[in-house]
Amino acid sequence: MGYDCDVIVVGGGPAGLCAAIRTRWVKRYKAIPCSTLLIENSYLGGLASWRGCLFTGPSWKMEGKDVVRRLLKDVEDLKIGVHQGRVSRINAEGEVKEVFTSDGKVFRCLAVIIATGIKALVNEKDYLGRGLEVTSMGYEFIVSHLRKVLSRRWEPRLVVVGSEKLRNLIPLIRELNQDRSPLLFVMEGEGKGGEDVMRGWIERYWGDGDGRLQGVTVRTSKGPRKIRCGKVLLDFNSYELAPAWRMEIGTEEFGSSFIKINQDMETSIPGLFAGGDVTSGGYNSFSRAVAQGMAAGLSAYRYIYHKKFGTYPPLFAYRPTDFLIPSDFEELPSLDEDLLPKSLVDGKEIEALLGRKWAGLSKSFNGKLSIRKMAEKKNVAIEDLKKVLKRLAEKKMITFHIDLIINRPGGNTFRPL
Ligand SMILES: Cc1cc2nc3c(=O)[nH]c(=O)nc-3n(C[C@H](O)[C@H](O)[C@H](O)COP(=O)(O)OP(=O)(O)OC[C@H]3O[C@@H](n4cnc5c(N)ncnc54)[C@H](O)[C@@H]3O)c2cc1C
């Protein structure tokens, strides 16, 4: 059974970017990379690319967007595929996972990392400080903040957006507003609305030629609704209590709630990992997202490696802890003849490196032709071909897919003492 890539990372915030990078780059150069696809609903960088997000402080800090810029460079240098679209469903049962996007595409992979944060972002960033204001940092300053926003009249209305937990703020907002501005509360998610409460999903913020916010489009169960407003207050606190990331995972355990993980970012479903704000535990921050994303990426790498080579990668000395290192120990795994080389770069780059003897070889790196068949086709010794393939893998130009009908060699070569 074929598949498109080893790993799919859903969400391109700091957690997703770090996860994707680690499936490709791992801890050092000599490693067999994964074929990885990153799927992002809006723009790469997530919340960390917003003005004012700092990594970390108080006596030192880096701007979130500067760190994101570096992460994006790594994604580009490592040639990690990016697809723009919203993941609407994941079928995580079975060995091959299916990831469905709202534009009708289906991607198949062996492992999925969920890094969707607390909210599916749209184009909020374009209107920050230009009619769109956010609450964050808990409820410590909420009363003074709301008093300020509600002290003036907003025409034709003030829209307050949040998750279902926006419910906590509604009475206070109504009280402080004192009928000054017409109010509309948009609670992201499915369910029943009310007189001034709408249920649905924010699709887009829009504005005038000067880039000032003029309204918002909400996708409701009855279709899109365009709502004009003078101001939007986006209550991030509510998403910290209950996220709204709008994706079905075909089991009852997951939904629009935080995802439970163990210390390796594994969920209870084999091959399904999660990291960043979407995981339960709180203390959401850039640094936590980076750390968890990185751990999720490494765990997915390890999972995939075991599937392909029947052994765990020697990159992780701490697990399994004690093992006897034989004198013929190899840093890279031996390549089974049934492995299916898959290109991660443009074929021309591979050809330029290999020279004339191997000309045309890169055309076969489609994840469908085995090493054995390739050697036959090229009429070359299989060991010579394997040496070339290892060299290309070390340079992150190819990886290996597996034919899931063929049984991989089982067992872990690092046996505990
Ligand atoms: C206003 C504000 C200020 C902050 N300031 C700081 C700060 O100064 N310092 C700090 O450390 N932290 C700060 N944070 C928190 C920090 O930004 C987050 O903890 C961090 O960005 C989380 O990273 P993440 O990758 O888990 O999620 P996010 O950054 O939220 O990224 C998740 C990504 O997944 C995408 N996504 C969601 N659903 C889907 C889907 N179904 N399909 C495809 N893509 C999807 C989203 O569009 C988004 O791009 C701030 C947060 C806010 C809201």
pLDDT tens for 146-173 read 999 999 999 999 999 999 999 999 999 9
In a domain, 281, yes or no: yes
3-state secondary structure of 266: strand
Q: Could you count the other beta carbons within 10 Å of the beta carbon of residue 273?
A: 31
Judgement on whether residues 198 and 177 belong to the same structural domain of the protein: yes
Lowest-pLDDT choice from 89-98, 323-332, 377-386: 323-332
Instruction: Provide the token pair at 53.
Output: 């997000």
Judgement on whether residues 275 and 357 belong to the same structural domain of the protein: no
Q: Which has more confidence, 315 or 37?
A: 37
Q: Which has more confidence, 331 or 11?
A: 11
CB distance 377 to 406 below 8 Å: no
- Closest ligand 1 atom, residue 134 Cα: 1
In a domain, 314, yes or no: no
Q: Quick one: what percent of the chain has pLDDT higher than 90? A: 71
In a domain, 232, yes or no: yes
Judgement on whether residues 173 and 93 belong to the same structural domain of the protein: no
For residue 416, the model assigns a pLDDT of: 33
Peptide bond between residue 58 and the one before it cis (omega within 30 degrees of 0): yes
Q: How much distance in Å is there from the Cα of 319 to the middle of ligand 1? A: 31
Peptide bond between residue 156 and the one before it cis (omega within 30 degrees of 0): yes
Judgement on whether residues 198 and 284 belong to the same structural domain of the protein: no
- Closest ligand 1 atom, residue 45 Cα: 49
Q: Could you count the other beta carbons within 10 Å of the beta carbon of residue 404?
A: 15
Residue 415 confidence (pLDDT) above 60: no
Instruction: Provide the token pair at 337.
Output: 């003849």
Q: How much distance in Å is there from the Cα of 282 to the middle of ligand 1? A: 13
Judgement on whether residues 328 and 400 belong to the same structural domain of the protein: yes
Last residue of a domain, one of 175, 202, 237: 237
pLDDT confidence tier of residue 401, bands split at 50, 70 and 90: very high
Closest CA to 318 of 414, 230, 241, 231: 414
For the Cβ of 413 lying below 6 angstroms from any atom of ligand 1, the answer is: no
What is the arithmetic mean of pLDDT over 316-336?
Answer: 75
Burial of 245 (0-12, 13-18, 19+ CB in 10 A): buried
- State whether the Cα torsion 162-165-166-167 is positive or negative: positive
For the Cβ of 101 lying below 6 angstroms from any atom of ligand 1, the answer is: no
What is the arithmetic mean of pLDDT over 335-356?
Answer: 94
pLDDT in tens, 30-77: 789 999 999 999 999 999 999 888 887 789 889 999 999 999 999 999
How many whole angstroms separate alpha carbon 45 and alpha carbon 16?
Answer: 9
Q: How much distance in Å is there from the Cα of 190 to the middle of ligand 1? A: 22
- State whether the Cα torsion 50-51-55-57 is positive or negative: negative
The amino acid at 144: S
Q: How much distance in Å is there from the Cα of 15 to the middle of ligand 1? A: 8
How many whole angstroms separate alpha carbon 5 and alpha carbon 8?
Answer: 7
How many whole angstroms separate alpha carbon 16 and alpha carbon 10?
Answer: 7
Last residue of a domain, one of 193, 215, 237: 237
Judgement on whether residues 233 and 249 belong to the same structural domain of the protein: no
Half-sphere exposure of 101 (CA within 13 A, CB side): 19
Q: Which has more confidence, 409 or 356?
A: 356
Last residue of a domain, one of 216, 237, 258: 237
In a domain, 9, yes or no: yes
For the Cβ of 289 lying below 6 angstroms from any atom of ligand 1, the answer is: yes
In a domain, 102, yes or no: yes
For residue 262, the model assigns a pLDDT of: 94
- Closest ligand 1 atom, residue 54 Cα: 8
DSSP state of 46: G
For the Cβ of 38 lying below 6 angstroms from any atom of ligand 1, the answer is: no
Cα-based distances in Å from 173 to 196, 262, 280: 12, 38, 28
Judgement on whether residues 77 and 154 belong to the same structural domain of the protein: no
Judgement on whether residues 302 and 327 belong to the same structural domain of the protein: no
In a domain, 317, yes or no: no
Residue nearest to atom 20 of ligand 1 (CA): 286
For residue 140, the model assigns a pLDDT of: 86
Provide Rg for the chain, Cα atoms. Answer: 24
Q: How far is CA 397 from the centre of its chain?
A: 22
Residue ranges making up the domain that contains 386: 322-417
The CATH number of the domain where 284 resides is what?
3.50.50.60
3-state secondary structure of 341: strand
In a domain, 136, yes or no: yes
Instruction: Provide the token pair at 95.
Output: 């060995």
How many whole angstroms separate alpha carbon 212 and alpha carbon 346?
Answer: 42
In a domain, 316, yes or no: no
Domain count, the chain: 3
For residue 345, the model assigns a pLDDT of: 95
Closest CA to 127 of 202, 186, 179: 202
CB distance 254 to 125 below 8 Å: no
Judgement on whether residues 133 and 102 belong to the same structural domain of the protein: no
For residue 310, the model assigns a pLDDT of: 86
Instruction: Provide the token pair at 117.
Output: 């944060």
- Closest ligand 1 atom, residue 278 Cα: 26
- Closest ligand 1 atom, residue 14 Cα: 25
Q: How much distance in Å is there from the Cα of 375 to the middle of ligand 1? A: 47
Closest CA to 269 of 256, 253, 258, 257: 253
Pocket test residue of 116, 142, 283 for ligand 1, highest count of atoms within 8 A of CB: 116
For residue 315, the model assigns a pLDDT of: 72
Judgement on whether residues 58 and 158 belong to the same structural domain of the protein: no
The CATH number of the domain where 335 resides is what?
1.10.10
Angle, helices 14-25/64-77, rounded to nearest 10 degrees: 30
Q: How much distance in Å is there from the Cα of 318 to the middle of ligand 1? A: 31
Judgement on whether residues 48 and 87 belong to the same structural domain of the protein: yes
Judgement on whether residues 131 and 173 belong to the same structural domain of the protein: yes
pLDDT in tens, 278-308: 998 888 999 999 999 999 999 999 999 999 9
